[in-house]
């Protein structure tokens, strides 16, 4: 099982630093990473990731420059591109596919794209090898969850984790650590979802300390660490320092 | 199309609108549509809303003939639909009150709202005080400074006003923050969006609570003038006032005009005219005409009027414009100020800066051959006194 899914904001601290951060993540033995595409209006993000996106935009990390910086990288975990819809729509499906082709991006997590709103766009990307990660929130009923998982199926059990997993939002609200997420409802929710589907689940929002991450792993899911990681990097910790104490590699 | 909704979620040939919301908000939005549909056929809801609009808001608002202003700009007749005379001083109360009643029916004890000029915030705070609901309003810091009287009014009504410092500190950032807050409290709070924008069902909900403006105005002008005007005109920020006035005239053979903020220049960032330089994109849950840069980031905007600087046009109004059913014009900051002064001097009415953008177009309409015009006076100008004082040197 994938022990941790880290999140980094591309362009923060700089686009030049990105290849090194990805290589370091891979060297730690992590199979996949969520990489944020900075957006001007990140409505699902808390203060830490808002600030990171703002810094990245100030430094010129436009969507095109981020994708160019990823082109040709091989020393990288599989990338799940975490983004809002509008930049992708403005690039357009045809050009986006060309830009993604030489990158390690394996899937897209588009926060504000419910299934069906851009059906042709989504189908086009999916058939090119870029499926959308299904999102399941605490407000998602089990009936709706079943439909979401069917609408955005895994490409197959042999596909990489990045293309198979569904993202379970642990609590109401926006991204951000340190708000004491109650894990009991998460455990119940995961049991229900694991009963619906055999695909891997990642759990994020409000997780940061080792105990919470371990608890998610004990539920048979992969914890996501985002805001806490981004904040620690801002405060000067290295990626290795920030990540290594948070999981034990399988191998 | 999104699964699960009953009402149409899209508008016009370009399928604007939709529901581009984070998953956390999808069930609350589905629940909201269901509650709205149930309420609109529920006699007790309709009776309460009608009674409150009459006795609390002061509807119907008058349609005032403005002969001296008409003569000054070269029109034969001019009628003003007086939303400035509603309780709290702008059309925003029509929607805020209706949604607050709806929220109470849904069992929500808490209301979240965003505000730009502060009129929607004041209206929501007032409705919440009347209905006994807790109210939190998110407002950009720039807007809090330029619309300070409205901040004080909200606080007097017991609302918590949360300053939003991000970005330009205006309506767009306030909506961002209100959406985030709602995602955190959607189990107990209802979000009263103030304009005809956002994810479905908000554009439809807000429009349906605002068309009372145009329905009244149409009946009143027929009664007073025995004929429809040649032009109906309203300012448009997100579009709740524009749609509210113009939509009931959609079947009539007349010109329907929406006026955008021309700001102080033609370059991106110097205005909020979405028809000039706006492209179809997605912001705050809907697809619509949006001022944005080449990478899909929302552009900065500028307007003297806090109620007209939103970077996107509500999807239904944008669709009507793109489909040729509504014309779009723009008025600059300076033209709006002149329009306001003219109404003050000729008719003794102090308009909001937003409404003044429509007033600024009257002379142009007359020059184009129009003789009779009905104008939506969306709000009163008390909140803008400090801007009028500094910019008009009075």
- Mean confidence (pLDDT) of chain B: 96
- From B224's Cα to the closest Cα of chain A, the distance in A is 46
Chain A interface, best mutation among B295, B298, B299, B310, by max A CB count within 10 A: B295
Please report the pLDDT score of residue A176 as a whole number.
87
Indicate the residue of B19, B184, B296 with minimum beta-carbon distance to A86: B296
- From A29's Cα to the closest Cα of chain B, the distance in A is 31
pLDDT at B218 exceeding the cut of 70: yes
CB contact under 8 A, A89 and B296: yes
Token representation of residue A153: 């199926």
Please report the pLDDT score of residue A1 as a whole number.
79
Contact list, A50 vs chain B (CB under 8 Å):
166
- Residue-number span of the structural domain to which A105 is assigned: 5-250
Among B29, B39, B41, B38, CA closest to B5: B29
Range B290-317 average pLDDT: 93
Catalytic site includes residue B177: no
Q: In chain B, what percentage of residues exceed pLDDT 70?
A: 99
Q: Are A90 and A66 in contact (CB under 8 A)?
A: no
Please report the pLDDT score of residue A251 as a whole number.
43
CB contact under 8 A, A147 and B3: yes
CB contact under 8 A, B23 and A135: yes
CB contact under 8 A, A40 and B167: yes
Q: Are A251 and A30 in contact (CB under 8 A)?
A: no
Alpha helices in B249-384 (DSSP H): 315-322, 333-347, 353-359, 362-367
CB contact under 8 A, B297 and A114: no
Whether B176 and chain A come into contact, CB under 8 Å, resolves to: yes
CB contact under 8 A, A112 and B179: no
Range B222-235 average pLDDT: 98
Whether B226 and chain A come into contact, CB under 8 Å, resolves to: no
- From A173's Cα to the closest Cα of chain B, the distance in A is 3
Which residues 6+ apart lie within 8 Å of A81 measured at CB?
A: A35, A37, A105, A107, A108, A109
Contact list, B198 vs chain A (CB under 8 Å):
none
> What is the band of B237 on the pLDDT scale with cuts at 50, 70, 90?
very high
- From A24's Cα to the closest Cα of chain B, the distance in A is 29
Please name the residue of chain B whose CA is at the shortest distance from the CA of residue A41. Answer: B176
Please report the pLDDT score of residue B277 as a whole number.
80
Q: What are phi and psi of B313, to 5 degrees?
A: -100, 140
Please report the pLDDT score of residue A249 as a whole number.
66
Report the distance separating Cα B254 and Cα B17, nearest Å. 26
Indicate the residue of A46, A88, A114 with minimum beta-carbon distance to B2: A114
Report the distance separating Cα A8 and Cα A72, nearest Å. 19
Q: Are B231 and B374 in contact (CB under 8 A)?
A: yes
Report the distance separating Cα A94 and Cα A86, nearest Å. 15
| Paired sense of beta strands B10-11 and B16-17, if any | antiparallel
Any idea what the CATH number is for the domain that residue A18 is in? 3.20.20.70
Please report the pLDDT score of residue B2 as a whole number.
60
Range B10-22 average pLDDT: 97
Segment A145-176, tens digit of pLDDT? 999 999 999 999 999 999 999 999 999 999 98
Contact list, A45 vs chain B (CB under 8 Å):
180
Segment A44-83, tens digit of pLDDT? 999 999 999 999 999 999 999 999 999 999 999 999 999 9
- pLDDT, averaged per 10 consecutive residues of chain A (251 residues), comes to 95 96 96 97 95 96 97 98 98 98 98 97 98 98 97 96 97 80 93 97 93 96 96 94 84 43
Chain B interface, best mutation among A51, A121, A172, by max B CB count within 10 A: A172
Range B94-108 average pLDDT: 98
SS3 B391: helix
Report the distance separating Cα B341 and Cα A172, nearest Å. 49
Please report the pLDDT score of residue B333 as a whole number.
97
Range B130-155 average pLDDT: 96
- As for how many domains chain A has, the answer is 1
């Amino acid at each position: 099982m994938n022990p941790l899914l880290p999140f980094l904001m591309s362009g923060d601290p700089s686009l030049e630093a990105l290849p090194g951060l990805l290589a370091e993540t891979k060297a730690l033995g992590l199979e996949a990473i969520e990489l944020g595409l900075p957006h001007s209006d990140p409505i699902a993000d808390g203060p830490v990731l808002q600030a990171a996106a703002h810094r990245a935009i100030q430094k010129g990390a436009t969507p095109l420059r981020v994708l160019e910086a990823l082109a040709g990288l091989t020393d990288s975990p599989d990338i799940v591109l975490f983004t809002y819809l509008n930049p992708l729509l403005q690039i357009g499906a045809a050009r986006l596919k060309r830009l993604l082709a030489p990158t390690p991006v394996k899937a897209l997590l588009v926060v504000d794209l419910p299934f069906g709103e851009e059906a042709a766009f989504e189908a086009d990307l999916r058939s090119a090898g870029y499926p959308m990660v299904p999102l399941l929130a605490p407000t998602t009923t089990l009936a709706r969850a079943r439909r979401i998982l069917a609408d955005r199926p895994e490409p197959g059990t042999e596909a990489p984790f990045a293309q198979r997993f569904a993202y379970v939002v642990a609590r109401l609200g926006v991204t951000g650590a340190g708000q004491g997420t109650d894990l009991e409802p998460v455990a119940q929710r995961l049991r229900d979802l694991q009963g619906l589907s055999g695909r891997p689940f990642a759990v994020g929002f409000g997780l940061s300390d080792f105990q919470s991450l371990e608890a998610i792993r004990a539920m048979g899911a992969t914890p996501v660490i985002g805001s806490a990681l981004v904040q620690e990097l801002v405060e000067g910790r290295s990626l290795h320092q920030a990540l290594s104490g948070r999981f034990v590699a399988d191998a | 199309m999104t699964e699960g909704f009953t009402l149409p979620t899209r508008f016009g040939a370009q399928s604007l609108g939709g529901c581009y919301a984070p998953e956390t908000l999808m069930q609350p939005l589905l629940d909201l549509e269901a509650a709205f549909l149930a309420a609109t056929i529920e006699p007790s809801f309709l009776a309460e809303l009608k009674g409150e609009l009459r006795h609390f808001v002061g509807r119907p608002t008058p349609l005032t003939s403005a002969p001296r202003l008409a003569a000054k700009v070269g029109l034969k007749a001019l009628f003003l639909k007086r939303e400035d005379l509603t309780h709290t001083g702008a059309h925003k109360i029509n929607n805020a009150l209706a949604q607050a009643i709806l929220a109470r029916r849904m069992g929500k004890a808490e209301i979240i709202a965003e505000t730009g000029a502060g009129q929607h915030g004041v209206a929501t705070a007032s409705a919440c005080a009347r209905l006994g609901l807790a109210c939190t309003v998110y407002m950009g810091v720039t807007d809090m400074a330029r619309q300070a009287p409205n901040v004080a009014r909200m606080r007097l009504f017991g609302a918590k006003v949360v300053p939003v410092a991000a970005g330009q500190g205006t309506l767009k950032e306030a909506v961002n923050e209100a959406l985030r807050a709602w995602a955190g409290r959607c189990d107990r709070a209802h979000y009263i969006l103030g304009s005809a924008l956002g994810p479905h069902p908000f554009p439809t909900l807000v429009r349906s609570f605002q068309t009372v403006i145009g329905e009244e105005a149409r009946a009143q002008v027929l009664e007073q003038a025995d004929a429809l005007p040649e032009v109906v005109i309203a300012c448009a920020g997100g579009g709740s006032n524009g749609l509210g006035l113009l939509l009931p005239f959609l079947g009539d053979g007349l010109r329907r005009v929406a006026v955008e903020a021309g700001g102080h220049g033609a370059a991106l960032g110097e205005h909020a005219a979405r028809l000039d330089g706006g492209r179809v994109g997605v912001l705050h849950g809907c697809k619509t005409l949006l001022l944005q840069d080449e990478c899909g980031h929302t552009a900065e905007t500028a307007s003297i009027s806090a109620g007209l600087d939103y970077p996107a046009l509500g999807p239904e109004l944008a669709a009507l414009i793109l489909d040729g059913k509504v014309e779009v014009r723009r008025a600059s900051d300076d033209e709006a100020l002149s329009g306001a002064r003219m109404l003050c001097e000729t008719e003794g009415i102090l308009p909001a800066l937003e409404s003044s953008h429509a007033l600024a177009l009257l002379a142009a309409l007359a020059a184009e051959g129009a003789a009779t015009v009905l104008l939506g006076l969306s709000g009163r100008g008390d909140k803008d006194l400090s801007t009028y004082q500094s910019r008009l040197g009075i």
